[in-house]
Structure 1
Amino acid sequence: MSFEIRLPLFEGPFDLLLFFIERDELDIHDIPIFKITNDFMAYVRELEHLNIEVASDFILTAATLMRIKAKMLLPRTEKDEEGNEIDPRKELVQHLLEYKKYKSVLSDLALMEEMRMSQESRGNIEEEVLQIANANHFEYELQDLSLYKLMRVFGKVMQRYDEEQQKPKHTVITYPYTIEDQKAFILKEVVQRQRISFSEITRTFPDKIGMIFNFLAILEMLQLNLVGVEVGEGFNDFTLTIAEGDANQVTQLHLS
């Protein structure tokens, strides 16, 4: 007669180590490395005896346990920067605690998966969403919104912004001049001084726009026969005078 021996299968080496710790009620923060290494190696040897293929992670963990066991047999101990002895089991304990934390939520996740698999998806969702969108006047495309689409929209907005910044800009400046004001100023000077040169007027209003307004005002007053012009030598300047025969009219306009 032949006997069949069935060994419990574990999902990984950490699952097996946690089984040993819980079975023997060991302190996970102070693992008896000699005992747990012997138990682990006995399980691996039993798998090999039954011609069961041993996974590489089991072999790696066995080698890690043997290395820790060898370090603990040596009298020389490693120390950290502060001079404290480094426990060779520290890294293994951290991995076990991390694995135990994730394993504790596996049952809850499995239950949630089972509940979700027992549910059926609702029908007519797209039609209902479209009706809601039409009733509230917002874009139905929002349901298909994705990070890629958002990045494309952002890129287009930035491109339009750059194009707007590069467009030529025209600045309109309002100057404090009018033809009527400059006519009144020039007429006042002509009446009071009898004669005034154009260069004297430009010194009062030295900017380019001021000279243009003054010149246009002079042209209009010449057309209305309010002032006269005497051209100086070299034609570099001219002098304004009261128009001949219209002194009374000019004086009355100035007084008004």
Structure 2
Amino acid sequence: MKIKEVNYVDIKTFDKNLNGFTILQISDLHINKKTSKMQIKKLVDMCNSLDYNILVITGDIIDCKVKYIKDKLSILNSLKGKTYFISGNHDLVYGLKDLIKQLQNITYLDNSYEKIVYKNETILLAGISDRFSKFFGHIREEKKLLSILEKNKKKIFLAHQPKDYKLALKSNCDLFLCGHTHGGQIWPFHYFVKIFQPFLNGLHYINDCPIYVNKGIGTWGIDYRYKANSEIALLRFTSENTYN
């Protein structure tokens, strides 16, 4: 777990009421037995040094059974402000229920939502469980979420995998955030990832919907990255000087 950079990302918006709203996104921590408490503390300290309105974690927090890393996960409870997370496929494999119990100060948002007030405006933050949920006895409620999203004007949608961007488009979301890809992690593995996912990393726009794919912090399989640096992303809505 080595954080190479903080990516400062401007998100285009026509809605001046969203101007300045800032989200810190971290993803794919893959905390396991080899992850040190110092590494996690450095991550938390870095996050807490930044200015943001909310923090979101888009899945794959763990990469082993929770019982082996309880002391490490407890450090995440020191993240400042309102923090939310959704499940990733590795969280499902290693025990989502145990993870939820351990993250006492972080709101679990699978198939759920929370209303956030910013400049007297309400922003709906919604999340969906990972696409592999059905294989682990967890419900994935697409219709329920779409119904809720469609009834609200300002909305941000969280999912673990980029494939779920279509749900954000259907409900005209102001932003879709995801992770999962690790940005390919090791080149030229990037090309393999592109076979299964519509986006590899970074910021994309489809039908005026901003889509951000976070490269994540941890690693999977081989503890190494090449041409896919780890990141945390600070995303700020702006309606100023973005449309020429």
Q: TM-score range by the shorter chain?
A: under 0.3
Greater percentage in strand: 2
Q: TM-score, normalised by structure 2?
A: 0.20
Greater percentage in helix: 1
Q: Which one has a bigger Cα radius of gyration?
A: 1
Where relative contact order (Cα < 8 A, 6+ residues apart) is larger, the structure is 2
